[in-house]
Structure 1
Amino acid sequence: MKTRITEMLEIKYPIIQGGMAWVAEHHLAAAVSEAGGLGLIGGANAPGEAVRDEIRKARVLTEKPIGVNVMLLSPHAEDVAKVVVEEGIKVVTTGAGNPEKYMDMWKSAGIRVIPVVASVALARRMEKYGADAVVAEGMESGGHIGEQTTMTLVPQIADVVSIPVIAAGGIGDGRGIAAAFMLGAEAVQMGTRFVVADESIVHENYKERIIKAKDIDSAVTGRTHGHPVRCLRNQMTREYTRLEQEGKSFEELEYLTLGTLRKAVQEGDVTGGTVMAGQIAGMVSRRQSCKEMIEEMMGEASRLMHWDLCTAGQHI
């Protein structure tokens, strides 16, 4: 399945792994890339040298292209922005901010810049400032979210930009990939399903919580202060919601969640930790290798899209 994204990024399949904080490290990124997708190393709040180390470790595991997600609100964003240039990274995705200040440096180095956007206005702005593509991320995603759904956001962005659109949010199987293409996307970005991959270093408790999740297990905290975050319901989300309803300040609520994602990912605390996952968690039912996941999803998507084209042809 060739698209402008697969050709631009020199990957076999139009699947990009999300740059999830504490999750998207070198083992997972290398495994996704080796399986034919694009693996990303999540910069999150890590210092530049830590990201450099992750890049080099990933390159020991694969010769395929890998990318880096730069979290622009990080205090180390500028260092990470320079590290990706120094290390010869060819693809950067960005989140939590506007990458314009780094755009000239990255473009001069031949880096493909793909911002994650949650609105039509930001997608237009990113195209104007030289983005090579955008990730249109719906509110079904895990972690920090916007307000539009993937179903409504992707086609609206695809209608107004000429650069390729990558769909994200609520995609975890071949049906989701096929649907994203029907909406105008040329690739998908996925996070939650890759969390439970064999190569993922996430604690077994975290993986098991996603695998056992039901459709109603997703919760959004932080809406009252304009910083909504999607995760799976637990003691922490209930406490957060209670304090939110009591009108506690953003600072008080932030203190409650400080370090809780790391506790969940690394220590397996799925009760008091933050178990970030998208609504698609209710469909993730088993562990697999990245290769098995990608080949299964692409096989299903290809069959569905072929059926759709054949069926459409019968009605012309």
Structure 2
Amino acid sequence: MRTALTELVGVRHPIVQTGMGWVSGPRLVTATARAGALGILASATMTPDQLRSAVREVRSRTDAPFGVNLRADAGDARERVRIIVEEGVRVASFALAPSKELIAELKDGGVVVVPSVGARRHAEKVAAWGADAVIVQGGEGGGHTGDVATTVLLPQVADAVDIPVIAAGGFHDGRGLVAALAYGAAGVAMGTRFLLTSDSTVPDAVKARYLAATAKDITLTRAVDGLPHRMLRTEMVAELEGAGRLRSLATAVRRASRFRRISGLGWPGMVRDGLALRHGKELTWSQVLLAANTPMLLRAAMVEGRTDVGIMASGQVAALIQDLPSVGELVSRLMTEAERTLATLSTGSGPPGAESSPPRATSGPPGDESSPSGA
């Protein structure tokens, strides 16, 4: 299935595995790349040396394209950009909009730049600065997210920019891929669905918690770091939501201290990173510290298997996922479902008088009128 995304980054399938801290490591990214989709390493939970090592590990296992996710507001963002360029990484994605200068530096190094956005105006801004594509995450997505549904946000962005748009938030199967293409996307990006595979290194007990979740078990809360954060409702989330200001501050200091020892980041650096996440919002000091060490809360669950003291970022789509296929099986299944859906739509199940040929959005090189992204 050729789309503007597959042509841009050189993958076989218009599917992106997102960069999830403590989850999107070399094993998952390698499996995704081998399956013909675009795997993204999550670098925010790595030191620069660990990032370089992880990139080389993936490169030693596959020659397929892959990417690295960066925090645009990190103090060492330029050092990480240099590593990406030096190591020949194909794609750089960002959880927050990168600066015009970072985009230019990456593009000068031959790297495809794909920021993630949650609003049309942000997509328009990074497109004007030279971004090659954007990942558009609707409110259904896991982790830090917005309040506009994918079905509303996606067509807004697809109509507003002339670069490939990748849809995220609420996707897990081939039907969703076809729907995204119909809205004008060039592909889909999925986090929770890739987390719940046999190639994910997340502990089995944590995966079981996700598989057991219903829609009511997935919540959007500000209690963790003061920003909207979609995750499973756990003991930790309930504790943070019910804690007073002093208790929250004590919890934040204790966890921040542990994260400082692991990351090597000093207190000034942690506070700086926490403040950088404020985005103009008023946060308490406990929220500032929790924002800085949210990776530690994620690590407790995603690495240590401590569902009682950790947090588990999750898209609402977790309520629809019931199995743990390999990444290869998942991608193959998803593409088969997409092809079957397109065939069904083109053979008479649509409204009377509908065209009998498959939707043109599924073929043709980027730049022509049939390109899903409109590029």
Kept in 2, the 8 Å contact 1:106–1:113? The answer is: yes
* CA-CA distance at 1:47 after TM superposition: 2.1
* CA-CA distance at 1:144 after TM superposition: 0.8
* CA-CA distance at 1:182 after TM superposition: 1.4
* CA-CA distance at 1:223 after TM superposition: 7.2
1:146-185 CA-to-partner distances (Å, cap 9, x unmatched) read: 2211111100000111111100001011121111111111
Kept in 2, the 8 Å contact 1:45–1:71? The answer is: no
* CA-CA distance at 1:224 after TM superposition: 10
Alignment of 1:154-233 (within 5 A): 154-222=154-222, 227-233=227-233
1:23-49 CA-to-partner distances (Å, cap 9, x unmatched) read: 111000010010010111011142221
Kept in 1, the 8 Å contact 2:143–2:230? The answer is: yes
Kept in 1, the 8 Å contact 2:67–2:90? The answer is: yes
* CA-CA distance at 1:230 after TM superposition: 0.7
Kept in 1, the 8 Å contact 2:192–2:317? The answer is: yes
- The whole-number CA distance in structure 2 between the counterparts of 1:185 and 1:15 is 11
| Match of residue 308 from structure 1 | 345
| Match of residue 364 from structure 2 | none
Task: Choose 31-40 or 195-204, whichever is displaced more.
Answer: 195-204
One-letter amino acid matched to 2:29: A
Alignment of 1:95-114 (within 5 A): 95-114=95-114
Kept in 1, the 8 Å contact 2:116–2:135? The answer is: yes
What is the aligned counterpart of 2:324 among 262, 287, 293? 287
| Match of residue 238 from structure 1 | 238
| Match of residue 285 from structure 2 | 251
Kept in 2, the 8 Å contact 1:12–1:36? The answer is: yes
Q: Calculate the aligned-residue CA RMSD, in Å.
A: 2.1
One-letter amino acid matched to 2:171: I
What's the TM-score, normalizing by structure 1?
0.94
Task: Choose 129-138 or 195-204, whichever is displaced more.
Answer: 195-204
How many residues matched?
A: 316
What is the aligned counterpart of 1:274 among 311, 314, 319? 311
Kept in 1, the 8 Å contact 2:23–2:195? The answer is: yes
Kept in 1, the 8 Å contact 2:223–2:241? The answer is: no
- The whole-number CA distance in structure 1 between the counterparts of 2:311 and 2:288 is 12
Kept in 2, the 8 Å contact 1:45–1:74? The answer is: no
1:56-108 CA-to-partner distances (Å, cap 9, x unmatched) read: 01112211111111122333322111110110112111112433221111111
Rg larger in structure:
2
- The whole-number CA distance in structure 1 between the counterparts of 2:29 and 2:285 is 33
The alignment status of 1:131 with 2:168, answered yes or no, reads no
Change (3 A) 1:295 1:244: farther
Question: Secondary structure of the residue that 1:7 maps to in structure 2?
Answer: helix
What's the TM-score, normalizing by structure 2?
0.80
* CA-CA distance at 1:21 after TM superposition: 0.7
Task: Choose 38-47 or 79-88, whichever is displaced more.
Answer: 38-47
Higher relative contact order (CA 8 A, sep 6+): 2
- The whole-number CA distance in structure 2 between the counterparts of 1:122 and 1:223 is 25
Kept in 2, the 8 Å contact 1:47–1:80? The answer is: no
Aligned-pair identity in percent equals: 34
Change (3 A) 1:268 1:223: closer
Question: Secondary structure of the residue that 2:181 maps to in structure 1?
Answer: helix
Kept in 1, the 8 Å contact 2:67–2:89? The answer is: yes
1:244-284 CA-to-partner distances (Å, cap 9, x unmatched) read: 79997533245568411000011101122101111000111
Kept in 2, the 8 Å contact 1:23–1:195? The answer is: yes
Gaps of 5+ in 1: none
* CA-CA distance at 1:130 after TM superposition: 0.6
- The whole-number CA distance in structure 2 between the counterparts of 1:205 and 1:77 is 34
Kept in 2, the 8 Å contact 1:45–1:76? The answer is: no
Q: Structure 1 runs of 4+ off > 6 angstroms? A: 244-248
1:202-221 CA-to-partner distances (Å, cap 9, x unmatched) read: 11121111111112111112
